[in-house]
Amino acid sequence: DYKGVRFGLIDIGGQTALRSSWKQYFAGTTAIILVIDSADSGRMHLAKAELQKIVQDEVSDKPGTECTPRLRTHVVSRASHPTDTPQDLSSALLLVLANKQDLPASSRMTPAQVSEALGLTDLREREWQIMGCSALTGLGLFEGMDWLVGKLESR
């Protein structure tokens, strides 16, 4: 629960072999929280490819062996009101948390750089927000959740 909204979170990141099962978690999804490792610029292209599949609701059915442990996607199902109707994934909000902002600037990407690398500005039909954060210090986490709760409440 956060500010009167109950979230159901499922961590669906990880190995490529598990990605074929992601779609089963999308029913009733009202928001996606994507946590990005800002210090791992070398795999940003993989995160972008997976994000494009997710927002297009085209999760691949082809299992593979490549592992992206630093890509974490949390599916949020809003359960705060019993009359809420499930939405399809195309209308789900997207909150991107650019993690590890507590690291020196020379060893991490800024939220603007992460946004550019993920192609967030190309998502013209989706409400999204990117927030720099630190899982260690809590920096930016509450601000991101505040944005998400505000958007969910206004729907």
Catalytic (active-site) positions = 15
- Long-range pairs for 117-120: beta carbons < 8 A, 24 or more residues apart: 117/41, 117/44, 117/45, 117/47, 117/48, 118/36, 118/44, 118/47, 118/48, 118/51, 119/48, 119/51, 119/52, 120/96
Nearest to 129 by CA among 151, 110, 100: 151
Q: Three-class SS of residue 35?
A: strand
Alpha-carbon gap, residue 107 to 129, rounded angstroms: 23
